[in-house]
Amino acid sequence: MTEFIHRFEPATGAHLPPLLLLHGTGGDENDLLGLGRMISPGSALLSPRGRALEHGMPRFFRRLAEGVFDEDDVRRRALELGDFVADARKRYEIAAPVAVGFSNGANIAAALLLLKPDVLAGAVLLRAMVPLSDPPEAELSGKPVLLLSGQADPIVPSSNSVRLAALLSDAGARVDHKVLPAGHQLSQADVTLARSWIGSVE
Ligand code: MLT
């Protein structure tokens, strides 16, 4: 099994979904711990560091240019991440996590939903785009997904996030897609919306 450098924080509350925190390009396993604690205080946090390096910056898969992905690498690394989560679930005795991914981390979370639907209980996708041009037919049977896009995002065109929302709903996910008055960076509204959404999913 491929090991990921990661942080794990055990739950401090009962009946809260564990979160799988997936950072953006150039981030690491420490980046989203604060966000995770704000979104779901008391949840267990599992936070791996992406294994693909771009000029020394960790990512979760390789890209050929901004927004142009090496899709073989996306597939391979999404499956690798899925194996890591399965192993971590046994090691730390946690339930299937809800992914909270930002940017490149949101894109690998979307790929994981499409390629290995059982790994995640749901996902918060912050500034995500369609990760695979020819995705497999996934069965997401009611899995909850919150997709938060930025109206003025220079990296993710709005048509692309609309396509991702449609792709996930067509596969059966319960998608809540909101477009915020923001760019690619996160805003306070992302935190507030993600927090109330997590509180509302069972
Ligand atoms: C990606 O490569 O996943 C997207 O372009 C987002 C980014 O990391 O900038």
* Alpha carbons 54 and 70: distance in angstroms, whole number: 13
Quick one: angle between helices 71-92 and 104-115, nearest 10? 80
**Segments of 4-44 assigned E as strands:** 6-9, 19-22
Residue 184 falls in the annotated catalytic set: yes
Per annotation, catalytic residue among 103, 149, 161, 190: 103
pLDDT digits (tens, 9 = 90+) for 64-109: 998 899 999 999 999 999 999 999 999 999 999 999 999 999 999 9
CA distances from 66 to 104, 129, 175 (A): 10, 12, 26
Q: Does residue 125 have a pLDDT over 70? A: yes
**CATH code assigned to 6-200:** 3.40.50.1820
CA–centroid distance, residue 40 to ligand 1 (Å): 25
**pLDDT, mean over the chain:** 97
- The pLDDT assigned to 172 comes to 98
Index of the ligand 1 atom closest to the CA of residue 24? 8
Please state the domain extents for the chain: 6-200
Which residues, including other chains, have CB under 8 Å from residue 174's CB and lie 6 or more apart?
A: 142, 143, 144, 145
Q: Which residues of 24-62 are buried (b: 16+ CB within 10 A; e: fewer)?
A: bbebbbebbbebbeebbeebbbbbbbbbbeeeeebbbbb
* Alpha carbons 90 and 88: distance in angstroms, whole number: 5
As for ligand 1, residues whose beta carbon falls within 6 Å of it are 24-25, 63, 66-67, 103-104, 107, 155
CA–centroid distance, residue 140 to ligand 1 (Å): 24
Residue 103 falls in the annotated catalytic set: yes
Index of the ligand 1 atom closest to the CA of residue 59? 8
Q: Does residue 54 have a pLDDT over 70? A: yes
- The pLDDT assigned to 1 comes to 76
DSSP letter at 119 equals G
- The pLDDT assigned to 202 comes to 63
Q: What average pLDDT does range 34-40 have in this prediction? A: 98
Residue of the CA atom closest to atom 3 of ligand 1? 104
60 — pLDDT class (breaks 50, 70, 90): very high
- The pLDDT assigned to 201 comes to 87
Quote the ipTM score: 0.95
Q: What average pLDDT does range 178-200 have in this prediction? A: 97
Residue of the CA atom closest to atom 5 of ligand 1? 67
DSSP reduced 3-state for 50: coil
